[in-house]
Every structure is written in C-alpha cells, then in structure tokens.
Structure 1
Amino acid sequence: MRVICNGIPKSGTHALLKAVQLLGVTDTDHEHLAYSAPLSDKHILIIRNPRDVLISWCRWTYKQVTQGFIIGAMPEFVQHYNDYKPWLTDENTLVIRFEDLIGDDGVTIQQIATYLDVPYLTDAYANLPGLTRTWTGNYSDWTEHWTQDIEDAWQAVGGANVEQDYGYVSSF
C-alpha cells in the first residue's frame, strides 16, 4: 500500500510522514500536490492554521520574519491554499489537522491507523516530535508577529476567507 502524505508547504507534511512511518508503513511519499484529480493511492492531507503556516513559510524561506516578508508572501500563499482546497471534500482523502496530530495524545495517529487499516502502535505518538528535516525545535505562532498592518493586508488578500474555508477562525 502506497501512502501519499500531502499538504501545503510548512503545514506539517514531514510530521505526517513520520506519523505514518511510525505505524510501520514504509511505502510513503511526501508531497505538496495541489488538487488536480482524485488519487488512487491512500491520500492524507494535513492542514494547519493558515496564519501559522505563513509565519513558518517566512521563517523557512526568508530566515527572518518581518512585516514586509509576511505581507509580500501573502498573495502567493493565499493562492496555494485555494489550489489545495478541493482536497478538503475529496472522498478518498483523509484530512487531518496539524494541531491535532501534535496535541491530541495520539488520537489522530489512531485515526490514521484506522484509515490505513494498520494497527495503532502505542509508541507512535511519543516518538512523533523532532527528528524531521524541517523541525526547528519550536512551532511557529502567528500571534508573536501579527501587527495591524499585517492584519489589514491579510484581510485585503482574502486570508480570512482561506481560514474560514479550512475551518479556522482567528481574530487579531
């Protein structure tokens, strides 16, 4: 069984890949696939609060998080979210939240195991943090960087709509 671990860059795809592998599934692909057509393989999409993803993207891409980098990245970023949106309703796709994967004491990993029809291994959740290519030691938090100028730009490019489409509600 091949499993495609998919998500917008910086949404937790490496953590998802590790979670699947911790369940003993080694035929895995790490992808950033915008929607084009349903997939025949097992497909898991990880989503994350768009504001946190934007901050993580800036940390990864620019190595510095400033108002200018955040605002400048927004148009392309919002388009990425719109390109992935059809996966949310694809009947062959399991959609999970990054926040649940890292914070629900293994419930999401159990959900993944059920979807993949593999046993849940009790040490999977305990071994999830760290040791991935993109792990920096702390999770990005948009509230540490958001300003009124960033909020105004976010609203102008449709960021609030993206949050709503993906089931997130953030207020500044």
Structure 2
Amino acid sequence: MSYQLKDISRLHGRDFVFATRYWKDRLFNQLKGSPPKSLILCNSYPKSGTHLLYQILYSIPGLQKWDDIVSVQALCGVMNTADHIRWKVGSAPDLSIVRSHLMYCDEIVEILKEFNCKPLFIYRDLRDVAVSHARWVTKEERIFLHDLYLEQASFDEQLMSSIKGVPVGSPFGSNVSQPDIGSDFLRWNGWVEDSGTLAVKFEDLVGERGGGSEAKRIDIVQQILDHLSISMPADQVTEKFASYTLNPSESHTFKKGGKGSIGGWQNLFKEEHKVEFKKVAGDLLVKLDYEENSNW
C-alpha cells in the first residue's frame, strides 16, 4: 500500500483553492477596512462526537454553519501542512463554526489566534472511540486504512488494530501506519489542559437520548454559552437544547442503545482487547476520569 500520485495531486489542487479563497478574503477585508473575523472552533479527537457538539453550536443564534472540516491528516493518510490549516480556517466566513480534528501544538494554536478562534474540544471514552474507529475504517473507502482492515478476518482483529495501531511496514512493504490509541490521543490532550479551551466530554453532552443525563447536558450547554460570551435565559436554554429537541437523524450519537451510545465498548471488548488497551491507554482512562484505577 502506498500513497498514490493522484492523491498528492488532488491535495495540491485543494490547497490552491483554499489559498486563493484565503488571500482574496484577506485582501477584500483590508480594502474595506473590516475588523478581524472571529470564528468558533468545534474541535474533537476523531470519532468522539464532533457532530454532537456541532449541533449544539449551530443551534445558537448568531453562529453559522460552515461545511468544510479542517484536519491534521487527509483521508488518504498524508499529513496536512500548517499552510493548509491556515488557508482553510482563514477562508471561513466571520462567526462560522469550524469543525476540526486538530491536535494540540504551538504552531496550530498560533494559527488559530490569527482568526480570533474560540476553541471548544470534545473527547470521549477511548474504548468507545476504538470501536467507532474500527467501524468507520471498514465502511469509509477513502480512508487510507480501509483496505488493510478489510484484509483482516474479523471485527475483533480490526478493533485490535484500532487499539494497538498499525506499525509501518506491516504488511511487508506498506508505508501506511497508525499510532496506538493512547499515543495518538496524547497529541490532542493539550486541548483538555488548555485554559483558553472549553473541553467537554461526549458522555456529559449526549443527554438522555444517548443514555446520559439531561441535567448534565444542559449544564454543559450553559458552559458553552458562557465560554462564547452569549447570554440566554435559563428556561430558553432548557427548552432549546434538550437532546430530544434535536433531529436524531442528523447524528447517530443521539440514538440510545445504538453504536453512538455510552459504554458500547463493553459489548465488544474481549479480554484480549482489555489487556492490550490497558497497556497503551489504561493510565489515560484514569487521567481523563473514565476509571478510578487501572483495574477495570
């Protein structure tokens, strides 16, 4: 397996489009003397409930949807450049909600400051993330791991790959690789600790429709409004943002008992999955308050 020339060419073409939009928008605003734009960053660790947070944000008056997603890695596996992230984020209209899968590093943080981004970050029990990731890879033909996962004999093997990662050179000659889930999440963990970012748990935001607490969901929504300096009467918050008021067809995360519900990993993890997960991310579960100790 290798990256195709057509993928590289397509990515260069994509970057040309966003660079053109970025510079055109920047020049136009300078000529008009417009104030700098302000954006809302709807960021997540992949497969952690991006659309759940996005639904909340686009239901807030004054904020607008933006169709594109900004990521550190293209679906074909090629890592995106800092310029790509700057051009793509910078081409979003003022007060847009920018969905993203951006890891935490100084360079990305500085880029986001250029556009007055108010960052929000959603994360999830990494065991449920592993299950969701394995399912996604097997269904998404464009993802660089897709063919490799389809060559595996069972979902148990695919889930194990999402936990342990895929070492470069396996199978022989492959340049496709994926870190283990613990090492991978550590690239995003800075958002959880960043004082300027509101980090929320999927489990706290999903509400009763996804098997969580409705009271906790409303509390988190209020924190989101406060983070964005948006005022709304408490009764309106409860009425507008109850999980049952949103359209469940827009996101599987609201289907209680479905693949987006809380704790679904318990039905799919075998003992060998638990053993390997504890090796690569057991300590993270404790640090992120998903387990009291490593003996789960």
RMSD over aligned Cα, in angstroms? 2.3
AA partner of residue 160 (structure 1): G
When normalised by structure 1's length, the TM-score is 0.87
Q: After TM superposition, give the deviation of residue 3 of structure 1 in Å.
A: 0.6
Q: 1:15 to 1:67 in 2, by over 3 A?
A: same
Paired residue for 1:162, among 284, 288, 293? Answer: 284
- State the partner residue of 1:34: 103
Structure number with larger C-alpha Rg:
2
Gaps of 5+ in 2: 1-37, 65-95, 140-149, 166-178, 208-212
**Share of identical aligned residues, percent?**
23
Q: Deviations over 1:57-114 (max 9, x none)?
A: 1122224972211111123222321110111111110011111111232221111111
AA partner of residue 122 (structure 2): I
Alignment of 1:54 with 2:136, yes or no, is no
**Structure 1 counterpart SS, 2:240:** coil
Paired residue for 2:187, among 64, 83, 87? Answer: 83
Q: Is the CA contact 2:49–2:253 (under 8 Å) kept in the aligned structure 1? A: no
AA partner of residue 79 (structure 1): S
CA distance in 2, matches of 1:111, 1:148: 38
- State the partner residue of 2:245: 127
AA partner of residue 159 (structure 2): I
More helix by share: 2
CA distance in 1, matches of 2:203, 2:270: 23
AA partner of residue 9 (structure 1): P
Q: After TM superposition, give the deviation of residue 119 of structure 1 in Å.
A: 3.2
**Structure 1 counterpart SS, 2:121:** strand
Gaps of 5+ in 1: none
Q: After TM superposition, give the deviation of residue 23 of structure 1 in Å.
A: 1.5
**Structure 2 counterpart SS, 1:160:** helix
When normalised by structure 2's length, the TM-score is 0.53
CA distance in 1, matches of 2:158, 2:269: 12
